[in-house]
Amino acid sequence: VRPGAMVIMSELSAAPAGSGQGQQKPLRVGFYDIERTLGKGNFAVVKLARHRVTKTQVAIKIIDKTRLDSSNLEKIYREVQIMKLLNHPHIIKLYQ
């Protein structure tokens, strides 16, 4: 993760089979190894990652804070607040 990035992480309710064969040493965010990109947006990228101990797969949203304007920053904070309130088996859970 590069400087100026913010990380939002969620557990995946159903994760695809692991890829990552033939890759170099994986990038790490805390206790998580980054496996591959799941999606991209204007100021964020979502990566598939796996916890190094529990092997739990998660989606990590990495936000490039240098590309956020005040409107987009407000949307991010609102998204985080909403995700903290949600609790449903088919909705990803915000952890950190």
CA distance 41 to 47: 12
Residue 40 in marked binding region: no
Give exposure, 37-47, as e/b (b: 16+ Cβ within 10 Å): ebeeeebbebb
Does residue 34 contact residue 51 with C-beta atoms inside 8 Å?
no
Binding annotation for ATP: 61
Binding annotation: 61
